[in-house]
Structure 1
């Protein structure tokens, strides 16, 4: 599973960071998913190995501009490229009205089927090989996090067991490995469960939107990867005259450690931290409580989840 961070800034872009966008591409398929689509996300896509022709689904966490204003240009460009494959866009209530109004007023006519699906908290969206669950978050407007959960994978093939059952090496090994039941020349049936180890759970990835309570993801426990905002250092947040509903690096580190998260990437970084020493301070604050593998995302950063 490959991930590309298309935009990692909070609120406004900086010279080094665009606003929110995250691409996720399962290795088994060339198609990819997009989580949030801030302004100029299509420009970031052009700087990456991604193709708009292979974009299959978009998931919007909430309707603040830095997470959604890039949709209109991306759809228009995908249309002008004459893409014909269907595209699905998921997001909170109001998403359909927003998109349909812009498309009507700008006379945007798309050559591909477009489906807009408005979701609610606690929804389960089932797809081929994985599902996505929506988690209501704590923000100034309706906002959802998305948890991607892969389907359970078969156990590892054990050649020794197959040989003991009289299965000759060759194509029959491959058929058993893919889950088939085979018949041997003497008429005996051998089931894949006879030669496969214990089933392996699929990977779990949390994609958090804007949220000042990262502990809301606690029911998902020790996920393989958590991507979540860390907009402020705690000391700076404490001095703000108006408290915006965003997480600090300290809050994120505490929550991730309590959940047992295996790998953590912080994003949605305030423009005030655009210098390297400030980013180091954010990471140090996370690590003051979180003992796992942690990183601060940067634009066009690529990450592979084995």
Structure 2
């Protein structure tokens, strides 16, 4: 049985409880982060903390504790649960006022802070990367502040189920004719030696893995172009892939039933995955 962290205490998962009045439960009034674990160490922690601070600030919430304390909790959970490869999930909400109300709770209401681990053996060597994944396109009907990593995940969850019903692995969301992002990842296409991915803005999440992968790509003398692209352009690309904290770099071999490139994972995506895993291992904390 896992040990989880709830509001200052390490407890067995079956004993973990929050109030029914918690704003995260009633209003999706909270943010989250997921950090990967390889070799028992945390990947990209600094980047995740910086994004967490920004998400909280955009919603008018403070950091509940210093970053060093959060890191200590991450490490303790990884140790207590003997996680070699996997992830740590962190969620912070505006807390639990005395009753349900659309208005924010009184100043000084304690925030809710929850963390738990997920063990995922084989994360770094995921066999899916050797064959790639298939995606479909769906309309993007989410709210306008997708740059904030909130717990409002109903539509992305529905998108995952649409993909499952279509017999594929995931979905790319489309707004005004252009791809925004995947249900839980950033989307890319490749033409020659050029990597193309949507520019940052309120329409997409600023992926921590995205930032690292683009940095590694530039260091490897690959060209990066941050702009919008359509499903039609993606279908004629040489390669396509996604990035996220738990998939790293994952090749995409089919979009809406159209084979991408050779129909196999492309060399650039596979090379980027190799670089990302190697460099992340070195920098893990």
Q: Radius of gyration: which is bigger?
A: 1
Q: Is TM > 0.5 for Structure 1 vs Structure 2?
A: no
TM-score by length of 2: 0.26
